[in-house]
Structure 1
Amino acid sequence: MKEQIKQKLTFVFKYFIGLALLIWILARVDRQQMIQTLLEIRPATFALIFVLVFLNLWIQFRRWRYLIEQQSSDFSHKDLIPSFFAGFTFRLILPGGHAEISKIFLLPGKKRGKVMAFAIEKFFQTYVKTILVLAGLPFLFAQFKWLFWSAAILLIVAYPFFPLLLKTRWLQKFQEKEVHYHKIFLRALIFSVGVFLCLMLQYFILLNDAHQIDFNATFLTVIYIWGAGLIPVSVSGLGVRENIAAFVLQKYGIPASTAVGISLLIFIINAIIPALIGVFFIYRRQHHFKDARETFKVVSSQIYNHGKKRFAKNKDTD
């Protein structure tokens, strides 16, 4: 009970921080100019952006479908789309680190393989973001360039060894069937890079519709903006993302009002709209969540007991 209250308070606090940061940056920019910039986006540009948004969602869905197919033997393909969109909703409305994993409950059947699919999906989202951010930070903090680049290289070199971690005896308990992790990791990595490229192209097209910025500058800027999700001070990088956009893009001659407006627009069409679609599916399939609390308790208990046994074993060895 105390843990649930703590998670809810943390979640509310993060939303408060995010909204405070967003209000702060909106108070510092020319809001009328921001709205005017968005209203002046050409219809052809909007059409191209929505094609990229659709492509972005398609790549993310393909990644989710592929991971479920590879990890689980007990699911129905008709449940994949509701589960996929529900993930956007849970990411924004549920407290705690387990938020988005709730989407697996829209996939009836065994949950072990689905938990592994979700874990791999989140791992590669974080993995790609971390490498890109580490590779991009030296352009802002040149004095630490060797530290950042060394860390990025270390993560890249470690990549072939990550699948071996999932072959440990304990993690194999979560497998519903035999899987080839090297193949799965490669495909998941490619999908995750594709998501970043779609997002980067959206920024490039929208920024050049209003002003002028080259491809390399956009690439670097989006690395920092996309990496906002790694900073655990708000929900989904709310507020942090807009402040980073204003700070970095001003270095390339883009007004803060344009940077904030375009950043908000891209967040709305890539995250908020899919989350609203997810609300519909969650409402229609809410009966699937009746066993969610008990499942979380069982999984948490297994992890705790395993850690306790490992600790006791190491203590006896010492």
Structure 2
Amino acid sequence: MPKLNRKIVIESLFSSIGIILLVYLIWSVKPGSIIEAVSHIDPFYFSMSLLLIPVIMIVDTYRWGILAKDQDVDLKFIEMIKIYAMGSFLSSITPGALGGYLRAKLLHDKGKSLGRSISNVVIDISMKTFSLHIISVFILALFFTDKLSLLSGVLFLIVSSSLPVIVIYKGEKISSRLIKRLFLLYVSPEYRDTVIEGVNKIFDRPPRLSSLIKSVLVTDVCLVPLAALQIHMISLSLDISIPFLDLSAIWIVSLSISCLPVSISGLGVREWSMAYLSSKYMIDKSTAITLSLLGYTVLAFIPAIIGAFFFIQHTISELQKVKKFQD
């Protein structure tokens, strides 16, 4: 089997774990109970959660823009929002949200340096998830001392999200070694200088420490509370009685765990975590899974639909450019 096909098969197998888990969870509580809960949803509170979608998109784009401006890969804010939305769409259809990294290609399509765009998007995603995982560690230690088995998964995610940032900031020393030992073995001699130059641009201009701190603060002070408020509104729409802080703790840890690369959009993993942690508050599995699925719909699926519209628009525009060039 060719290496590329083998990689695709392995990624598909990993991503299927979460989907299989989701099917099992839904089957174990019977789909009818989930449909019944959704049919009695309070439209007022659910509408309030929907109104937070554009707010979160704007705040998250602003956070990303802090890093992008520092690396000179920023665009007009409306263009940044569109690319952010397209990244949400691409994340939602790939294992481990890997499609989100294609934002770098979208920035490059707008005339930005590909190397800087790659480092910008890698650092942006890594810092956002790193903040989420760090908060989850404190939540587990404070709220769920009887469920610290989840800590190993979160610690793994902390390490995996911080490594790309460390590599980028270590810069050309690491990159030149990797190039010489790995990449250049498969590159024709006449293209080697071009490859070295292109890869080194990834390390050309990482964001300043002050920009990283600002980005983390926006995540911790704005994004995480907004996500918590959003799931709280959804819980009220389902008439779930649980204190705001406790529900926020469950949701944040579940979002963190769902970053494990064993599913698409965290489906299955997030629902399992919600059911597992909610049991402490005597919330039945069916209610927890319903809450998680609605949370996914509002937090990820609807923004992904918006992103899909922009992505189709972008793809058509690029195809028209190619056709015009060929003519």
TM-score (norm 1): 0.75
1:119 and 2:122 matched: yes
Q: CA 1:168–1:14 in structure 2 vs 1: closer, same or farther (change >3 Å)?
A: closer
Partner residue in 2 for 1:68: 68
Tell me which residue corresponds to 1:130.
Answer: 133
Give the secondary-structure state (helix, strand or coil) at the position aligned to 1:212: coil
- Verify the 8 A CA contact 1:242 1:259 in the aligned structure 2: yes
TM-superposed deviation, 1:25: 0.6
- Kindly indicate whether the alpha-carbon contact (under 8 Å) linking 2:63 and 2:215 is maintained by their aligned counterparts in 1: yes
Aligned ranges 1:54-203 → 2 under 5 Å: 54-73=54-73, 75=75, 79-94=79-94, 98-107=98-107, 108-109=110-111, 110-138=113-141, 139-142=143-146, 166=169, 168-170=171-173, 173-174=201-202, 181-193=208-220, 194-203=222-231
TM-superposition CA deviations, 1:39-84 (whole Å, max 9, x none)? 2222220221112222222221212233222212575555323311
Which position in structure 2 is the counterpart of 1:10?
A: 10
Does residue 274 of structure 1 match 2:303? yes
1:207 aligned to 2:199?
Answer: no
Instruction: Identify the residue that residue 221 of structure 1 maps to in structure 2.
Output: 250
Instruction: Tell me how far apart the structure 2 counterparts of residues 124 and 38 of structure 1 sit (CA, whole Å).
Output: 35
Long gaps (5+) in structure 2: 176-199, 320-327
Give how far 1:185 is off: 0.9
Post-superposition Cα deviations, 1:6-64, rounded to whole Å, max 9, x if no partner, equal 33213322332122111111011143332232222222202211122222222212122
Segments of 5+ residues of structure 1 without an aligned counterpart are 291-318
State the percentage of identical aligned residues: 23
Q: How far apart are 1:114 and its partner, in Å?
A: 1.5
Letter in 1 for 2:127: F
CA change 1:3–1:41 in 2 (3 A) is same
Measured after TM superposition, the shift of residue 99 of structure 1 is 2.6
* Displacement after TM superposition at 1:214 (Å): 1.1
Secondary structure in structure 2 of the residue aligned to 1:230: coil
Tell me the secondary structure at the aligned position of residue 241 of structure 2.
Answer: coil
The amino acid of 1:235's aligned partner reads: I
Q: Distance in 1 between matches of 2:73 and 2:289?
A: 44
Quick one: which amino acid aligns to residue 184 of structure 1?
A: S
Q: TM-score of the superposition, structure 2-length normalised?
A: 0.73
Rate the CA distance shift 1:168–1:175 in 2: closer, same or farther, 3 A. closer
Structure-1 separation of matches of 2:94 and 2:269? 19
CA deviations 1:113-146 (Å, max 9, x no partner) are: 212221221111221122122223334445969x
For residue 97 of structure 1, report the CA deviation from its aligned partner.
7.7
Please name the residue that 1:27 is paired with.
Answer: 27
Question: Distance between the aligned counterparts of 1:144 and 1:285, measured in 2?
Answer: 44
